[in-house]
Amino acid sequence: MSTKIWIDVNLLTMVEGDKPFGLLEDAALVTNNKQIVWVGHKSNLPDHFVGEIIYCKGSYLSPGLIDCHTHLIYGGNRIDEFEKRLTGASYEEIAAAGGGILSTVEATRAASEDDLVRTAQKRLAAFMKEGVTTIEIKSGYGLDIVNEIKMLRAARKLGNISGIDVIPTFLGAHALPPEYSGDRTGYIKLIIEEMLPIIAKEQLADAVDGFCENIGFTHQEMEQIFTAATKLGFKLKLHAEQLSDQKGATLAAKFNALSADHLEYLSTDSILEMKKSGTVAVLLPGAYYTLRDTIIPPVEKLRSAQVPIAIGSDCNPGSSPVLSLKLMINMATTLFRLSPEEALAGVTRNAAKALGLDDRGILKKGLKADMVLWDIEHPAELSYQIGGDQTLMVIKDGDVTFARNKYKSGQN
């Protein structure tokens, strides 16, 4: 049946400027095929809707979760590096010794496209089970034409197989590949003259990202890449101010990038630039936690400048081996002091903004029917609880793609 009527439900619409969480109690919501077609109080539900009725018994329905920053596709793992960090080595030291990102590049180059799909599929399943209905996936472990394309094709395949929306991002400027050691200019040229045009032509990525850092690429190098990417019509994103202040966020703002991500070392000037350009601040508590960082992003300043804040998992084998966006909601509150409402907006409304998607992220008539039904008694319980299973039902494009047992048999 193409029409579904969700009833006896509390809606976390996440519509801004409304009540906290855009809360609508004792509500109803109607979907038709892939769209939300009606939202309101149960008492106002028009009686012309005919469809499957889903009684939610006072559970909470939110927009589907959106993970706007991941490196979900990669070969191998970095357990050895994890153990080295436990005994005192830093992320930068490991990278300088040729480990870190480059060790994943080696394993990713050795893997076939199917290997990459298979290993990433398991990780994706963990995100989906919790309620993720849209996920961004970056390349950046291939670092040559063949292998970057292999990663982006694997991302596309994952989207087709999983049924959720995979948004691919090209991250050629992630690290300098070994064959270009000593020839930074040559690698930038390869990105600009060969990689970007072919990725644009084959429509393999929506956005272009880079790692603007002293162990990554400089402000000027990123500026050259952004100039070329803009001409080809790509949206932009940037790993900025994770380990030091390179004024990457200012660069991102200058190019009207969708987002600047990480931001532990973000300066006040850059915040004002981000506000002007509408660039979203994507915070990644999993990387902060894993690297045992001690500087938190300037949340209070972002808040008072009204820069939208999104939260991502940064799922990657090195700095954030995280397979739970739910845990990031908790960490965003506990580690970064976001309010529970800000944290949920970070993985719904603002995560959609960080990907330039205006058809999702809130519960509103006309938007996509991507939703999660939660087994909670208060909206803040989504941030408060660590672990456990709060997901009752996941709805993607109007179809129930996951349901806990009591909802499976339709015994409402």
Give residues in contact with Fe ion (CB under 5 A).
Answer: 314
Least separation in angstroms between residue 332's CB and Fe ion is: 16
Helix (H) or strand (E) holding 4: strand 3-12
**Alpha carbon of 400 to those of 45, 91, 216, 379, 411: distances in Å?**
22, 41, 42, 22, 15
Residue 247 interacting entry, from Fe ion, ligand NIG, none, C-beta within 5 to 8 Å by type: none
> Taking the mean position of all CA atoms in its chain, how far away is CA 374?
20
Residue 166 Rama label (left phi>0; alpha psi -120 to 50; beta): beta
Q: Which residues pair with 251 in a beta bridge?
A: none
Closest by alpha carbon to 254, among 290, 279, 286, 229? 279
Sequence-distant (≥ 6) Cβ neighbours of residue 289 within 8 angstroms: 331, 335
Copy the structure tokens of residue 39: 């939202």
Least separation in angstroms between residue 103's CB and ligand NIG is: 9
User: In this complex, which beta carbon is closest to Fe ion, that of residue 261 or of residue 341?
Assistant: 261
User: In this complex, which beta carbon is closest to ligand NIG, that of residue 100 or of residue 131?
Assistant: 100
Least separation in angstroms between residue 312's CB and ligand NIG is: 9
User: In this complex, which beta carbon is closest to ligand NIG, that of residue 319 or of residue 401?
Assistant: 319
Residue 133 interacting entry, from ligand NIG, Fe ion, none, C-beta within 5 to 8 Å by type: none
Least separation in angstroms between residue 266's CB and ligand NIG is: 15
Residue 318 interacting entry, from ligand NIG, Fe ion, none, C-beta within 5 to 8 Å by type: ligand NIG
User: In this complex, which beta carbon is closest to Fe ion, that of residue 271 or of residue 291?
Assistant: 291
Whole-number Å distance between alpha carbons of 83 and 85? 5
User: In this complex, which beta carbon is closest to ligand NIG, that of residue 229 or of residue 282?
Assistant: 282
Least separation in angstroms between residue 213's CB and ligand NIG is: 7
User: In this complex, which beta carbon is closest to ligand NIG, that of residue 236 or of residue 369?
Assistant: 236
Identify the DSSP state of 175: S
Instruction: Name residue, tokens 């090195």.
Output: 318
Whole-number Å distance between alpha carbons of 261 and 353? 13
Give residues in contact with ligand NIG (CB under 6 A).
Answer: 71, 100-101, 104, 211, 239, 242, 287, 314, 316-320
Whole-number Å distance between alpha carbons of 243 and 94? 14
Residue 101 interacting entry, from ligand NIG, Fe ion, none, C-beta within 5 to 8 Å by type: ligand NIG
Least separation in angstroms between residue 209's CB and Fe ion is: 8
